[in-house]
Chains A and B, each alone.
Chain A
Amino acid sequence: MGKIDVLNGNKAAAWGAKLARVSLLAAYPITPQTPLVEYLATFVAEGEIDADLVEVESEHTALSVLQGGVFAGARTFTGTSSQGLALMYEPYIRTSTMRLPIVMALVTREVISPQTVWGGQQDAVTVREAGWIQIWCESNQEVLDTVVQAYKIAENKGVLLPVNVCYDGFSLSHMAERVDIPEQEKVDSFLPKPDITHVKLDPANPMSVDPLTAGPMLTEYRHKQVTAMNHAKKVIEEVRQEWFQLFGRDHGGMVDVYRMEDAEIAIVCMGSPAGTARVAIDEMREHGIKVGMVRIRVLRPFPVEEMKTLLSGVKAIGTIDRNVSFAAGYGTSYLELLTAFGGKSMPPMIDFIGGLGGSDVTLEQIKQAIVLTQYVANGGEYRSVTWFGLDEVDIESLFEDSEQEAKEGIV
C-alpha cells in the first residue's frame, strides 16, 4: 500500500520523476507547466531527488542539456507546454532520431496566436509526427503512474524512443485530487537502473553520434525508427500488465476501453474529457442508449489494430476533440480513425470539437454528442463536424415522439 495524498497533475508528474530516480533535470517554466518546475526544484533542494537540476535559459537548452546527459548515462526528465515546445522544436525532433529515451511531461495548452495561456491539446497534436511516443492521461493518478511507466517503455532496447506524457493543462495540471503514491521499493523493483549503450560518451571508446547521413542509410535509419515505434505497442501492453500485477491499477495500454462489451455506438476521445465521458455514458445508458468509449491512450504510435477490432462492429462513432487538424477541418482523433480504417468500410462517424482555449468539455456536451451519434446510428444525417460553442445543437427537432426515451436523457 502506498501513501494516499492529494496532488495536482504537475505534482503527480514530479512525483513520478522522483520515484523513477531521475538523475538529471533541466526545464524552463511556462504556463501551465510552471508548478512542475517548482515541485522538481523543491524536491532537489530538499534532497528528495538525488539529481542535478540545470537552470537553463530556454526550452531549447533544457532539452539539449538532457541529450548530453543521456550520452553520459543519465535518466532525464523535463516538461513544457505550447510556445515552450515550439522553442524546443529543434532539439525535440533530434531527440527521437538519436533514439534517446528521454521522458518529458507535455502539459497541453493552446498555441498562440491568438494570445492565450489556457488549456487545449493543440500543442501536442501538432508535434505528433516528430517521432516521440505520446501517452495521454485522464487522471492525476495516471499521470504519476505513466511517468514511471514511460521510462520502462522508452529504455526498452527494442524501443529506445523518447516519450511525452501528455496531460491537459489546468484540467489536470492545476486540479488536485486523491492520488495513491506507490512505494519507492516497489517502483525500484519495476524499473531497473538505466542502461544506455547505443549512444555513449566514453573517452576510452570514442563514438561519433548523429553524423551526416544520406540517401539509403537515412532511409534505413528512418525505417528502423518506424519499426521501433511499432514495437513500442507491444512493450506498452507488457508494461501495462506488469504495472497492474505490481500495483493493482490499470489505466489501459494503447487504448482504454469503457463499457464497450455490448455497445452499439462508441465515443472516442483522449485526455481529461474521457473522465466526464464515463459519467455521460453511464447516464445515457439509463436512457436506453448502448454507448461505450474507446479512449486513445497512446496517440503515437496510433492503436490502429485496437481501433479496428473495437469499432468495426458499432453502428456509429462520435469523436470528441480538444484540438483541430487542418487536413479537412476535423479534430485529430477523427482524422486518425479515418487513417486507421484506411479507406476500408467503417461505421459512420461524426466529430465534435470543444474544450478549446481552456473551456470545459461539459457533461451536457458529451451527452449531446452521444445522442447525436445514436441518431446517426439510427440512419439519421448529421453534420460531420460540430463545434461546441459555435454550432447550434438542436436535438429536440431530430427525434420522433417514439424515441422519447432517448430524448429524455438530454433535452
Chain B
Amino acid sequence: MKQIRFHGRGGQGAVMASELLCHALVHEGNYGQSIPAYGFERRGAPLEAFVKLDNKPIRERTQVYEPDGIIVLDSSLIAQLPVFNGIQANGFAILNTRKKMTLEDIPEQVDTLAIIDANRIALDVFNAPITNTILLGAFSQATKLVSLQSLSECIENYFPKKIVEKNLVAVARGYNEVQVVTRSGPIRKAE
C-alpha cells in the first residue's frame, strides 16, 4: 500500500484532488481511499487530505500518519508547517514552489523531489491560484503511480463540464513542466 498526504489551504482543492486521484487509481483497476482531515475547513486555512492506494481492497479506516510521500499545493506551507513529518524512506515530495529547491534542502528520507511553480501556471490557466490538478500532473510524472491519461479521463468524467477543459490543460502542464530529481538517479528533465 502507498499512502500520500496532501497539504493545501481551504479553497485550493486538496480534497477534490485526493478524490480525483482516487478515481484515477480505481479507473486503472486499483483500490483507493480518499480521506479529508476533518475539521472546520475554511478558505485559506491550512488543511490536509490523504490518499491510500493498493492493488487489493484497503481495510484500514484511519488517517495517514507515515506517508510514502507528500503533495504540497500551497508554496507558503513548506516553510510554515512541518510538511515532511513522518515521510517514509525512499519517499517523494511534490512541491508547489518558485524556489530552486534541491535535495539538500529536504530531509534525507525523501528520495524523489519534484518542484513546479504551480501558482504561475494556475494564474495562466485559471486566472486564480487553484493548483490541485497541476500538482496531480506533477505527481504522475514524478512517481508513475498513476497515468496522465487516467487523470485526464477522470477529469472529463467527474468534473463539472465548464471546468473540464482548463483542468485538462492544467494537469498536462503539471505533467510536462515539473522538474524531478532523485537521490538514486540522474535528474529527469521534463519531456
Contact = CB atoms under 8 A, between A and B. Distances in A.
Given A6-B34, A119-B38, A358-B38, A175 B61 contact: yes
A4 B65 CA distance: 28
B62 interface: yes
A168 B38 CA distance: 13
Nearest to B1: A279
Interface in A259-278: 272-273, 275-276, 278
B35 interface: yes
* Interface size bracket, B side: 20 to 34
Given A118-B38, A170-B38, A176-B33, A6 B22 contact: yes
B23 interface: yes
B59 A177 contact: no
Given A6-B23, A176-B33, A178-B31, A279 B60 contact: yes
A122 to B, nearest CB: 16
Contacts of A118: 38
- B22, B58, B59 — which one has the most chain A CB atoms within 10 A of its CB? B59
B19 interface: yes
B60 A175 contact: no
A174 B36 contact: yes
B161 to A, nearest CB: 14
B23 A174 contact: no
Nearest to A282: B59
B23 to A, nearest CB: 5
Interface residues of A, number: 29
B32 A6 contact: yes
A369 interface: no
A361 interface: yes
Interface string B121-158: 00000000000000000000000000000000000000
A104 to B, nearest CB: 22
A228 interface: no
Contacts of A6: 19, 22-23, 26, 32, 34
A214 B22 CA distance: 57
A177 B38 contact: no
Interface string B51-62: 000000111111
- B40, B60, B62, B63 — which one has the most chain A CB atoms within 10 A of its CB? B62
Nearest to B57: A178
A245 B35 CA distance: 32
Nearest to B34: A176
A234 B72 CA distance: 52
Contacts of B34: 6, 8, 175-177
A276 B62 contact: yes
A304 interface: no
Nearest to B158: A6
A45 B16 CA distance: 23
A276 B38 contact: no
Interface string B149-180: 00000000000000000000000000000000
A279 B19 contact: no
Contacts of B57: 178
7 contacts: A5-B26, A6-B34, A171-B61, A177-B31, A177-B33, A178-B26, A361-B62
Interface of A: 4-6, 8, 117-119, 138-139, 168, 170-172, 174-178, 272-273, 275-276, 278-279, 358, 360-363
7 A-B pairs with least C-beta separation:
A272-B61, A275-B59, A176-B34, A275-B61, A360-B62, A170-B38, A177-B33
